[in-house]
Structure 1
Amino acid sequence: MMPQPSGRLVRKDDGVYLVLDRMFKAPIEEVWTYFSRSPRLSSWLGEYTGTGSTGAVRFRMTADRDDANWEDVSILECSPPHRLHADVGPAGGSHRMFVHLTEASGHTTVTVGRRLRSLVEEADEGPRWDYYLDRLVAAHDHKQPPEPAAYGPSMTEHYRMLCRELDRDLRSEAAAARTAAAEG
């Protein structure tokens, strides 16, 4: 079965985020370790060095390739096992990320968000994050990770359409605000 796009775009005060969810039949503390323990994180996304409690770590995303570059990570908020907010990458070029975990009735929901710097240029992040989170599910369930080729053109087009629609809405809202300001 081909994977389906699961992300959505969410407007927040500081920008537009690509947001995706996955659900696990597991306690929240167990799922949290896939974000907080380097060996578990490396089973699906990448590895880190440093101590998160200091607010700074180094990370490299090995899900795509083993020779990935190390990036700086600034931990903005860490409230185990519920919330992690961070900036990933160099100053001025970093990506704001968040991970929220909630537990109910023996299930844990993971919500991951990545702020987009440009709706036009970053629509392709959707398929990548669907792939990464499907790798997380596979790692947790001790299954084979998905093949990256399955996250191709049809999924990319879905996210491009979401970005085009939101970009059009944002432009319409800006035009309406300019008109209202000129009339008022």
Structure 2
Amino acid sequence: MCPVPTGRLVRTGPEAYDLIFTRNFSDPPPLLWRSFTRSEDTEQWFGRWEGTPGVGQSVDLQMLYEEGLPWSRVEVAACIAPELLRLWVEDEFGGWDLEIRLSDASGGTTMDFIQHLEDPLAAESVGPGWEYYLDRLAAARTGGSAPVFDDYYPRQGSYFLAQAQEASGSGETP
């Protein structure tokens, strides 16, 4: 299988970029919201977490589909159910600023999953990863087959590298 990448990288400031993935789901926002806010639902596509979530609070997240099953610390920066969830994730590689926006779309949901970046080159490696995980989310929601990571990375890297070059305005590697 060769999934087609859908993410787009947009420059939002002098050293600020948003890596945006838009997906549509047949479930209304409150049902899709659970895939991000209930550990038993999150673990079906990404990982399980422990702790008591709340704005300004942190939980521990174990990524269940990564080698070594690594743990991360996740702080809830903003939460407006079932519309907006903003998370600050810290792991051994640094910090991740993530935002999930859900909006009603004719009885279903349009989801914008956004990673805020300072370095557009990060999109080359994280873009394929988010494509994979968001396709895992869709499969978990519909009962479909889970995708295979090797179909995404490194194959989709060049797509996201081209986006980084365009967003930086240089046409060359930023």
TM over 0.5: yes
Q: Report how far residue 170 of structure 1 moved.
A: 9.6
The TM-score, its normalising length taken from structure 2, stands at: 0.88
Q: What does the per-residue CA deviation read over 1:57-115, in whole Å, with 9 as the maximum and x for residues that have no partner? A: 111222223x3222111111011111000110059931100000001211101111112
Quote the RMSD (CA, aligned, Å): 2.2
Q: Report how far residue 22 of structure 1 moved.
A: 1.0
Identity %: 30
Task: Kindly indicate which of the two structures has a greater share of residues assigned to strand.
Answer: 2
Q: Is the Cα contact below 8 Å between 1:72 and 1:88 reproduced in 2?
A: yes
CA distance in 1, matches of 2:120, 2:60: 27
Q: Is the Cα contact below 8 Å between 2:10 and 2:167 reproduced in 1?
A: no
Task: Kindly indicate which of the two structures has a greater share of residues assigned to helix.
Answer: 1
Q: What is the correspondence of 1:32-111 to structure 2 with a 5 Å cutoff?
A: 32-53=33-54, 55-65=57-67, 67-89=68-90, 93-111=94-112
* Residue-pair matches, total: 170
Query: Stretches of 4+ moved more than 6 A in 1?
Result: none
Gaps of 5+ in 1: 172-184
Where 2:102 maps in the other structure, the secondary structure is: strand
Q: What does the per-residue CA deviation read over 1:137-174, in whole Å, with 9 as the maximum and x for residues that have no partner? A: 00000111011121134421111111122223499xxx
CA distance in 2, matches of 1:84, 1:47: 17
What's the counterpart of residue 113 of structure 1? 114
Where 2:98 maps in the other structure, the secondary structure is: strand
Gaps of 5+ in 2: none
Structure number with bigger Rg: 1
